[in-house]
Chain A
Amino acid sequence: MRRNHWGYTFMLSLLGLSILLAGCTVSGKGTGSSQEITVWSFTDEANYAIDKFEKKYPGVKVNFVNIPGNFYITKLKSALQTASKAPDVFMLENGNIRELIDVPYLENLSAAPYDANKLIPEQYPFVQANEKDSEGNVKALGYQATPGGIYYRRDLAKQYLGTDDPEEVSKQIDSWDKIFDIGERVAKESGGKVHALANWNAISVSYEGIPWVKDNKLVINDAYLKVLDMVREARQRHVLAEFDDGSAGYAASMQKGEVMFYPGASWALQYTFKANAPDTSGKWGLAHGPASFSSGGTYIAMYSKSKNKDLAWKFIHFYNFDHEFLTELAHDQDYFTSNRVVDDQLAPTLTSAYLGNQKHFEFFSEEAKNVPSYQRTPFDTVINNDIYKNVLQLYLNNKMKTKEEAIQRIKRDVKLRYPELEVD
């Protein structure tokens, strides 16, 4: 009898514990079958590719896990390191690619049987520059190309510039001085209702990607210092509408027509303009701005300990180099891919109704060829986003009076953040 009591109590405790622990187990399908792979991403855009991939290869199953937000990278790192439920294929954002490119958990795609070096000439040089690790091996492939341009409201351009033709507009805004002149005039003529640019970041975004570190030493490029003066001048001359990126006012300004020019990358058409201002189809145009730039971008990598490398590579190859699929993706999703061959084929014919039937692929193909290729470092994202942009705002708001103060502050913060770097 006494024995039974012990048994019951033990069973009950075990049951209680297992119920509690069950709540903590990670749900997800395993990748035991050789015809199954798991793909992780921080957006849901891969759903389209997965759907097409599964249709092309019947019998193959792709388990897609979308982890939006900041925790994606933390979770990914933990999964790769512990090999626990790690994905076979995973996406990396432009901001993280250089930090992770040298990590051994990324399969070397330059090696056989992948031989990615023979494939990447199809891609734009600035995309290729991010795909290679410090030894020159391809570790990730950027299926997306993100050249930028100046999105403008055609109605405002007609009213204030006398034309809405992309080429004519491009000529009128090929330098910051010209944009500032237009901005000052427009703010005056509209009684402060219309501005040329939404905020300071509209200027600084054109210089993103310039490396901050060379040979383990902090190097402050002159362009970054020039931007400090430019944003101050832009504010003084009422060029900026002062809507913070992502704020409600920023989104509304697109719909209302309060800002003339929005510098943005290729993906902004889909994810920024169509999303924020769906009722303004046909009212937009794309013009070349003062500088060619790229912003953002997604890269796809393979887990080096994956048990399904053949299938993983099939998927990666499909997403980057399957011309038929990439053409469909471009048509259906207005998605500008990194594949030059496909883009060049589409450029003469593909138009966007949202952009007033402008040949946007022609525009982006041209811009993508002009985007500078930088040797970016693992430090760039943090220095640019956390340190430089903070200093830029302090300088803009006159919390820092001189450029020397700004430089000293950048140096101090870099020293604190990266003690291993040499700072003068």
Chain B
Amino acid sequence: MFAKSIRKDHYGYFFIAPFFIIFLLFGLYPILYSLYISFTNWDGIRTPEFVGLGNYIAVFHDPIFYKTFLNTLFIWGVSVIPQLTVSLVLAFILNEKFVKGRNIFRAVYFFPHIVTAASLGLLVSLIFDWQSGGLNHFLVESGFIHDPINWKNNAWFMRLIVSSILFFQYFGYSMIIYLAGLQGIDPSLTEAAQIDGATKKHIFLHITVPMLKPIILFQVITSIIGGMQIFDQPFTLTNGTGAPDRASMTSIMYLYNVAFQSTRFGYGAAIAFCLFIIIILFSVLSFVLTNRKKA
């Protein structure tokens, strides 16, 4: 009735071939070409000049690279910690059967994720504009302040604003991922715990969180990869300048400025590969930290 062995025809390869051909042409080739470019000085029009590791050495001595990298870490850290914790708690609450209208809440919390990042950056930029911003108008009109405040002149404030935009945009997304994870937890575990007299807090800490560990790991790694690539929000918020004094400029904004505004493709490619290595290191580190066995 059934064949004794699996038929090993080659038809399958044809079906998967388009993906691989396109990946080779538009994925792998550009990556390898960028790697080659990173060893050259190239302005996009003259012949690339081979400089060996020159660009990489320059990146290691570039204070702006370090500044933008630390900016990225700060912006990412300040947004991702509340994002992952608040969304976990929200997911836990909205997974409870007793919450009325939980589907509406799920949808509402997810809405910010639908808005494009660039629009959010632009919107916030308009709100915090020095002379014509909505917030300053409100504060002056209500008599809280006499002169408008130049919000965008404050480095830490600008970094926090970018973090807040990211938090606002992504907490709903994280919540949906957690909800999917929560629905995969066997209800008999929580029921058994309830019978044994566990409180909601105990269930959350000792059943939900450990069972969600793979989901948490997924969220942490994807947020690291995403976090290192923050671009749209600070770019539109500061009109591409990262003002004041590159305080809100992220690594990818710097890469964009170097490669596409100054057309220094070699140096830009070197920055890109440095970031690539850093992202891998962070991902491996987070994987190791979340998977280490308790002593």
Task: Report the separation of the CA atoms of residues A394 and B245 in the bound assembly, to the nearest whole angstrom.
Answer: 7
Any chain A CB within 8 A of the CB of B82?
Answer: no
- Whether A13 contacts B244 by the Cβ 8 Å rule is no
Q: A71-B260, A394-B244 are in contact. Are A77 and B44 (CB under 8 A)?
A: yes
Closest Cβ–Cβ distance, residue A395 to chain B (whole Å): 11
* Secondary structure type dominating chain A contacts: helix
- Whether A393 contacts B243 by the Cβ 8 Å rule is yes
Interface string of B255-288 (1 = CB under 8 A from A): 0010011110000000000000000000000000
Cβ-defined partner of B132 (8 Å) among A5, A10, A16, A243: A243
Cβ-defined partner of A103 (8 Å) among B21, B46, B244: B46
Which size bracket describes the interface of A in this complex?
A: 35 or more
- Whether B244 contacts A399 by the Cβ 8 Å rule is yes
Any chain A CB within 8 A of the CB of B204?
Answer: no
Interface string of A266-286 (1 = CB under 8 A from B): 000000000000000000000
Interface string of A11-38 (1 = CB under 8 A from B): 0110011001100100000000000000
Interface string of B125-143 (1 = CB under 8 A from A): 0100111100000000000
- Whether A419 contacts B262 by the Cβ 8 Å rule is no
- Whether A10 contacts B44 by the Cβ 8 Å rule is no
- Whether B131 contacts A5 by the Cβ 8 Å rule is no
Closest Cβ–Cβ distance, residue A304 to chain B (whole Å): 12
- Whether B11 contacts A399 by the Cβ 8 Å rule is no
Closest Cβ–Cβ distance, residue A363 to chain B (whole Å): 30
Within 8 A of B (CB), among A224-283: 241-244, 246-249, 252
- Whether A77 contacts B14 by the Cβ 8 Å rule is no
Cβ-defined partner of A397 (8 Å) among B132, B153, B257: B153
- Whether B18 contacts A247 by the Cβ 8 Å rule is no
Task: Report the separation of the CA atoms of residues A78 and B44 in the bound assembly, to the nearest whole angstrom.
Answer: 6
- Whether B261 contacts A70 by the Cβ 8 Å rule is yes
Cβ-defined partner of B131 (8 Å) among A70, A249, A397, A399: A249
Any chain A CB within 8 A of the CB of B22?
Answer: yes
Task: Report the separation of the CA atoms of residues A247 and B122 in the bound assembly, to the nearest whole angstrom.
Answer: 11
- Whether B22 contacts A9 by the Cβ 8 Å rule is no
Task: Report the separation of the CA atoms of residues A249 and B246 in the bound assembly, to the nearest whole angstrom.
Answer: 23
Any chain B CB within 8 A of the CB of A100?
Answer: yes
Any chain B CB within 8 A of the CB of A182?
Answer: no
- Whether B44 contacts A13 by the Cβ 8 Å rule is no
Task: Report the separation of the CA atoms of residues A390 and B241 in the bound assembly, to the nearest whole angstrom.
Answer: 9
Cβ-defined partner of A81 (8 Å) among B26, B44, B129, B239: B44
Nearest residue in B to A394 (C-beta to C-beta)?
B245
Nearest residue in A to B12 (C-beta to C-beta)?
A9
Any chain B CB within 8 A of the CB of A80?
Answer: yes
Task: Report the separation of the CA atoms of residues A77 and B43 in the bound assembly, to the nearest whole angstrom.
Answer: 9
Q: Interface of A with B (CB < 8 Å)?
A: 5-6, 9-10, 12-13, 16-17, 20-21, 24, 70-71, 73-74, 77-78, 80-81, 99-100, 103, 105, 241-244, 246-249, 252, 382, 386, 390, 393-394, 397, 399, 412, 416-417, 419
